[in-house]
Amino acid sequence: MKKKHLFLSLVLSIFLSINAFSQFSFNDITLWAGSGTNKAALVIEWTTPDGNYVTKVWGYRWASGTKTGRDMLNAIKAIDPRIFEQAGSYGDQTVFGLGYDMDCDGFTYVAGANETGHAGDADDVYKEGWLYQGYWSYWLSANGTSWSYSNYGIANRTLTNGAWDGWRFAYAPSWTANAPRTPFTAATACGSLKSAKSASVASENTTLSASKVAEYDINISPNPCTEFINIYTDKPVQVTIIDLQGKIVLDESFTAQNPAVNVANIAKGIYTLKIITDEHTVYKRIFKN
């Protein structure tokens, strides 16, 4: 009987440890911008050249009034110089390039043609894109765990108390958007790191050793498209096309395999393609010529 109770206690202890890790909360955030009783969180995930990832989180507080996702990002950049944002040609609604100074020696940006700009320091992480390399996909959550794709620009996103915003790069040519993963470590200001730089860098880089996660995807072609876009799947799908203002311009269900979606009557531009099966939801960026 004692062995049985010991075994159950061990199982419960492991379960609680796993559950506590998965329920990342505001209490786990160490770096905050602003002040007030309202609070929100910002999660940014970068992929490293070897296919691992760095996922960081910051907090934002405000007292009253309407605040947006852009307000939060700007406030957090102001108190943490480790975050670097490169502006694009599409205004405050979009995020073009995001970087992070991993080793606290300053972030240097090196420009490149067709969105190939990169970090000058190989130890840092950075990615940019909109038309060529991919794009920063924008995600919303009420708890930091269950994410939904934001169909609006960052400046039109109104924050509410307890909200979470997330960013993760969706790579071309698939343009598949996936939500950020649970952050492993909260962001830390450089002031506390410079006194023991080598040790702290090793500590921050432990997030890079996490196992890679296979992501579900559905292939489409052509992209850019003109009259039809083919979706390669053997399952019934619900297909929704959404413009940059969040308006649904097409919403259809298909039961046949590999359906061809007629987009001839959709205006030229950039859209989000949402594909729902009985098991998965996939988001992609598409270009209509």
Model confidence pLDDT, tens digit, residues 42-55:
999 998 888 888 99
Q: State which of 209, 244, 269 marks the end of a domain.
A: 209
Residues 174-198 have a mean pLDDT of 71
- Same domain? For 151 and 56 the reply is yes
* 156 in a structural domain: yes
- Same domain? For 176 and 225 the reply is no
* 5 in a structural domain: no
- Same domain? For 136 and 255 the reply is no
Place 15 in a pLDDT band, splitting at 50, 70 and 90. very low
188 touches 82 (CB < 8 A): no
- Same domain? For 126 and 107 the reply is yes
pLDDT at position 211, please?
Answer: 42
240 touches 250 (CB < 8 A): yes
pLDDT at position 212, please?
Answer: 47
For 112, the 3-state DSSP assignment is coil
- Same domain? For 90 and 179 the reply is yes
Looking at the DSSP assignment, which residues form a beta bridge with residue 177? 283
Helices (H), the chain: 2-22, 69-79, 197-204
| Domain with 238 in it | 219-288
Residues 96-108 have a mean pLDDT of 95
* 214 in a structural domain: no
Query: How long a stretch of residues is the chain?
Result: 289
- Pick left, alpha or beta for residue 103 (phi over 0 → left; psi -120 to 50 → alpha; otherwise beta): alpha
Residues 245-258 have a mean pLDDT of 93
- Same domain? For 113 and 229 the reply is no
pLDDT at position 204, please?
Answer: 52
Q: State which of 179, 209, 239 marks the end of a domain.
A: 209
In whole angstroms, give the CA distance from residue 7 to residue 283: 43
Q: State which of 188, 209, 230 marks the end of a domain.
A: 209
For 195, the 3-state DSSP assignment is helix
* 15 in a structural domain: no
Looking at the DSSP assignment, which residues form a beta bridge with residue 43? 57, 166
- Same domain? For 99 and 133 the reply is yes
A 10 A CB-CB count for 59 gives: 20
- Same domain? For 201 and 225 the reply is no
CA angle centred on 27, ends 26 and 32, rounded to 5°: 65
Q: Which two tokens stand for residue 93?
A: 């609604």
Instruction: Compute the Cα dihedral for 125, 128, 149, 157 and give only its sign.
Output: positive
- Same domain? For 197 and 257 the reply is no
In whole angstroms, give the CA distance from residue 259 to residue 14: 45
Report the CATH number at residue 275.
2.60.40.3080
* 139 in a structural domain: yes
What is the percent of the chain with per-residue pLDDT over 90, rounded to a whole number? 67
| Residue closest to 127 by CA, chosen among 201, 66, 44 | 44
User: Which of 8-17, 38-47, 151-160 ranks highest by mean pLDDT?
Assistant: 38-47
Looking at the DSSP assignment, which residues form a beta bridge with residue 61? 34, 39
- Same domain? For 188 and 225 the reply is no
Q: How many domains does the chain have?
A: 2
In whole angstroms, give the CA distance from residue 83 to residue 31: 12
* 265 in a structural domain: yes
Q: Would the pLDDT of 114 be above 80? A: yes
Say which residues have a Cβ less than 8 Å from residue 7's Cβ, sequence separation at least 6: none
A 10 A CB-CB count for 184 gives: 18
* 10 in a structural domain: no
| Residue closest to 270 by CA, chosen among 87, 129, 71 | 129
* 8 in a structural domain: no
Place 23 in a pLDDT band, splitting at 50, 70 and 90. low
More confident residue, 99 or 13: 99
- Same domain? For 58 and 95 the reply is yes
